[in-house]
């Protein structure tokens, strides 16, 4: 591959528009006066902005050269001065250089692709570094050539192992490079401004964003839940469209295969439409492809979160629909099981996918308006009347929602008192909670959380834990403890963080989240999902404790409960299987390089399948089921289900899957039964 090249056409540099000048002036003012974090526009911020902008543009350090980075150092202490004057020249200059380098690189790859693929030797023992984010920038074009050569070779090898022939691979990659070149040449000044404005906004915290007029429209559609699509929140990561989270009870959530941290690389319309490669596409263009009328189908080509190359891709078909309030509403069930002594128990489970309020019905005075608190209160009464000995509130994958509903639901389980403290940007602390003493459920209570439990879920779980009103079970929650508002600019909108949540104990839910009393295996990858992994995430801290009572002395029983839990899961086939899965996933996560030798890659794939089959059969035999001779096609991705919080289960039809018990829910019920002696009146702890 040549070490020097030139674009076949001159690309006109992008220049800031007058609307961008007024928008950045508005942004600087709003961030200075309204954001929770007070940051000075100085040389330190300038240096941070330069580094952040470069990392946003070229995160894998494969386009820009060391000579570019050296040249950009002249801006290291001047970007703050430009922002104060509402100037954007430096930001646009950097963006234009990046755009130029990327078009040149892609054009060169496209021009030489057939010969490059034909000359590839997959018997050579070499590998590729999976993450170059902390590596040095390429020292020259030759060094960039070598990085890019391995990138292309890895893509070709992955596609070859996925069953594509060389002609098909060249055709696919050619289309991909052409699309990327086309999209880079079609970029407008608005795109450059959006990149730069977001690099600046994100210095304050990861939830502060600039929305262009087009993105502002998309944001409003998503917030109103009126969008007919698949119910997934997406973001760009390198050239890929990454799933951030799924909307509870949305089409993708119900379908069950798409998971957080999966990468969408292709989109097709209907059950038989042509798959369109979307690597390198703009996020809003990918979203437009995925959207569609309710009742229509979209097919997604997906690389599972745990995979490290395209060979592990899978195709998912999802029927588009509108997310409806009734689908997201709380639901209850009675779980019956026997303890280690053979005694039967009944535990009520209330699944709360989100904290919702039918505000329109409430505003119109409808006495039958739907809300989380009202529905949970009704279900609670039904389960207790059916003989439930205790209640488990299932908040797994609940990303939050209405703060008022989280407070209201806490009020169903305490007599009165504060539930959350909110510290505003001016340091004023507001306490919200249950102000009047009213009847409440006083029996055994557990709260089940996982890594995707966030915001309002963390407020509820934290309050129940602080009051020692119930046992919190599961894995460390997400850690989003900040509040945002969306504010108009002269051009677009600015979403910024205005306040921070604190528990009644004084501990923030920010960054750290809620730590469970009894821990389950960490099914989500905490190095990929959670507030703590986000750049510039606000730190955990503590304020003064709010005066509150303790309902029971639950902490005194935690060691006993943990010991019983450990003993039980050591013999439970599903938990043993989960632990084995997690061990395999951890080993895969620890890999920093991937072999480009086809025999080694085949061997690694075959070993993985054999290991997966052996683990599955150990589980089946332990449960008295027949072992399998081979795994179904999708069984290779069971580790992804474990990673995302789903329990890997036997492949069967949809009806049978719904009947399969949830091992985590069953174990949570066992823990609650074990804890019942600590909920007796003599265990009351009325300490201030």
Catalytically active residues, by annotation: 455, 466, 480
Give CA–CA dist 527/589, Å, rounded. Answer: 9
N- to C-terminal Cα separation, the chain: 74
Is the separation of the CB atoms in 78 and 88 below 8 Å?
A: no
The sign of the torsion formed by the CA atoms of 207, 213, 218, 219 equals positive
Give CA–CA dist 4/495, Å, rounded. Answer: 43
3-class DSSP state of 557: helix
Q: Give the residue from 413, 396, 669 showing the smallest Cα distance to 514.
A: 396
Could you tell me which residues are beta bridge partners of residue 128? 594
Q: CB under 8 Å to 310, separation ≥6 — which residues?
A: 155, 158, 159, 162, 265, 303
φ/ψ of 647, rounded to 5, equals: -85, 120
Is the separation of the CB atoms in 120 and 153 below 8 Å?
A: yes
Give CA–CA dist 304/646, Å, rounded. Answer: 14
Q: How many residues does the chain have?
A: 688
3-class DSSP state of 390: coil
**In what side-by-side order are the strands of the sheet with 518-519?**
331-338, 344-351, 391-394, 445-449, 471-474, 518-519
Is the separation of the CB atoms in 391 and 348 below 8 Å?
A: yes
Give CA–CA dist 266/315, Å, rounded. Answer: 9
Is the separation of the CB atoms in 213 and 188 below 8 Å?
A: no
Give CA–CA dist 461/594, Å, rounded. Answer: 41
Is the separation of the CB atoms in 289 and 267 below 8 Å?
A: yes
Q: Which residue has the tokens 């602080």?
A: 466
> What DSSP character marks residue 636?
G
């Amino acid at each position: 591959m040549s070490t020097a090249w030139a674009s076949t056409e001159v690309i006109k540099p992008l220049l800031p528009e007058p609307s961008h000048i007024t928008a950045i002036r508005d942004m600087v003012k709003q961030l200075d006066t309204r954001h929770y974090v007070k940051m000075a526009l100085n040389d330190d911020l300038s240096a941070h902005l330069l580094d952040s902008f470069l990392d946003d543009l070229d995160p894998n350090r494969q386009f820009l050269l060391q000579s570019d980075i050296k040249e950009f150092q002249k801006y290291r202490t001047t970007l703050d001065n430009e922002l104060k004057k509402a100037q954007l020249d430096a930001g646009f200059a950097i963006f234009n250089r990046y755009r130029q380098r990327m078009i040149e690189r892609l054009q060169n790859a496209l021009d030489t692709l057939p010969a490059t693929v034909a000359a590839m030797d997959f018997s050579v023992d070499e590998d590729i570094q999976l993450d170059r984010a902390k590596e040095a920038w390429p020292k020259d074009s030759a060094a960039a050539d070598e990085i890019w050569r391995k990138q292309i070779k890895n893509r070709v090898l992955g596609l070859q192992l996925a069953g594509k022939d060389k002609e098909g691979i060249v055709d696919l990659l050619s289309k991909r490079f052409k699309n990327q070149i086309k999209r880079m040449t079609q970029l407008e000044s608005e795109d450059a401004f959006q990149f730069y404005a977001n690099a600046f906004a994100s210095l304050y915290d990861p939830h502060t964003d600039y929305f262009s007029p087009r993105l502002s429209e998309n944001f409003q559609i998503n917030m109103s839940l009126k969008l007919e699509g698949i119910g997934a929140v997406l973001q760009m990561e390198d050239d890929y469209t990454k799933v951030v989270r799924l909307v509870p009870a949305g089409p993708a959530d119900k379908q069950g295969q798409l998971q957080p941290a999966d990468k969408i690389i292709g989109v097709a319309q209907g059950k038989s439409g042509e798959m369109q490669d979307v690597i390198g596409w703009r996020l809003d263009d990918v979203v437009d492809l995925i959207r569609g009328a309710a009742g229509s189908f979209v097919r997604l080509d997906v690389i599972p979160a745990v995979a490290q190359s395209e060979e592990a891709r899978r195709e998912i078909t999802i029927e588009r629909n509108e997310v409806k309030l009734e689908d997201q509403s709380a639901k209850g069930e009675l779980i019956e099981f026997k303890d280690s002594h053979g005694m039967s128990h009944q535990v009520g489970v209330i699944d709360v996918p989100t904290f919702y309020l039918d505000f329109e019905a409430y505003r119109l005075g409808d006495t039958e308006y739907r809300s989380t608190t009202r529905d949970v209160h009704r279900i609670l009464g039904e389960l207790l009347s059916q003989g439930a000995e205790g209640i488990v509130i299932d908040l797994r994958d609940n990303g939050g929602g209405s703060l008022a509903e989280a407070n209201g639901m806490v009020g169903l389980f305490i007599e009165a008192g504060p539930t959350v403290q909110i510290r505003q940007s001016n340091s004023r602390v507001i306490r919200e909670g249950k102000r009047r003493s009213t009847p409440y459920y006083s029996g055994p209570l557990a709260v089940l959380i996982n890594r995707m439990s966030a915001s309002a879920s963390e407020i509820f779980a934290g309050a129940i834990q602080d009051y020692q009103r119930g046992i919190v079970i599961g894995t460390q929650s997400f850690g989003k403890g900040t509040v945002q508002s969306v504010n108009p600019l002269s051009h677009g909108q600015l979403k910024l963080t205005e306040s921070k949540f604190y528990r009644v104990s004084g501990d923030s839910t920010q960054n750290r989240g809620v730590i469970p009393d009894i821990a389950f295996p960490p099914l989500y990858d905490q190095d990929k999902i959670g507030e703590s992994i986000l750049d510039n995430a606000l730190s955990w801290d503590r304020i003064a404790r709010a005066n509150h009572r303790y309902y029971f002395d639950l902490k005194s029983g935690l060691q006993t409960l943990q010991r019983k839990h450990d003993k039980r899961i050591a013999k439970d086939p599903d938990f043993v299987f989960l632990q084995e899965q997690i061990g395999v996933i951890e080993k895969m996560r620890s890999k920093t390089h991937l072999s480009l030798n086809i025999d080694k890659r085949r061997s690694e794939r075959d070993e993985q399948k054999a290991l997966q089959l052996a683990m599955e059969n150990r589980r089946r035999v332990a449960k008295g089921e027949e072992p399998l001779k081979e795994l179904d096609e999708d069984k290779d991705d069971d580790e992804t289900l474990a990673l995302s919080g789903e329990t890997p289960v036997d492949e069967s039809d949809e009806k049978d899957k719904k009947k399969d018990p949830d091992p985590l829910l069953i174990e949570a019920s066992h823990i609650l039964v074990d804890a019942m002696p600590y909920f007796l009146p003599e265990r009351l702890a009325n300490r201030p």
